[in-house]
Structure 1
Amino acid sequence: MKNRSLWLVVAALAIIAAPLVIPGLGGEFKGADDRGSEAISDARPGYKPWFEPLWKPPSGEVETGLFALQAAIGAGLVGYVIGRRAGQKNVAH
């Protein structure tokens, strides 16, 4: 069991380090929104969006923080539901 855990940690570190070490694997991190906007701009240079956002965060850091908060809330909710269901199965038996 210890050997398997060690290999999982090594694999996780390799996945994290690969884009930073190997050139051409995307050292610059961009989200799907940025890549989608770039693809649209390349395909149709004169394209204008149908609407503008209702609120734009003051900086990229705020936007990233809000995204991380959203992900944390979602992960907490999913973890709660899974834990609750697992607990109900243990009580029922």
Structure 2
Amino acid sequence: MKNTLLLAFVILLAIIPFYIHRDSEFGGADGQAEEAIQEIAPEYTPWVQALWEPPGGETESLLFSLQAAIGSLVIGYVIGFGRARKKYSNNAESK
């Protein structure tokens, strides 16, 4: 029951901002940084260029989501491995 309530709360936290700010554009930090740099120093030129530009916003979102999923899997594995190792080392010591 407790986990279900927590899951519902997390889902609501993710959905509510879209209803509160219906006509807002949720842009990324890269675009905001680029605009700020252009305001502060319009003559600035980047040092390097991107090796590859994704063909569209959807591809960029897909790659970002994939990166987040892989990171979550790695973190989950490390936490799970640590908990299992602690559990089984405690069981071995008690025998």
Match of 2:5 in 1: 6
TM-score (norm 1): 0.78
State the identity as a percent. 42
Question: Structure 2: how far apart are the matches of 1:40 and 1:46?
Answer: 9
Q: Map Cα deviations across residues 19-60 of structure 1 (whole Å, 9 max, x no partner).
A: 323349x82111111111111112122222111101111111
Could you tell me which of 64, 81, 89 is aligned with 2:86?
89
Q: Secondary structure at the match of 1:42?
A: helix
Question: Structure 2: how far apart are the matches of 1:50 and 1:89?
Answer: 48
CA RMSD of aligned residues (A): 2.4
**Looking at CA atoms only, which structure, 1 or 2, has the larger radius of gyration?**
2
- Paired residues in the alignment total 90
Gaps of 5+ in 2: 91-95
Q: Which runs of 4+ in 1 moved over 2 A?
A: 2-12, 15-24
Question: Structure 1: how far apart are the matches of 2:7 and 2:65?
Answer: 25
- Matching residue's letter, 1:81: V
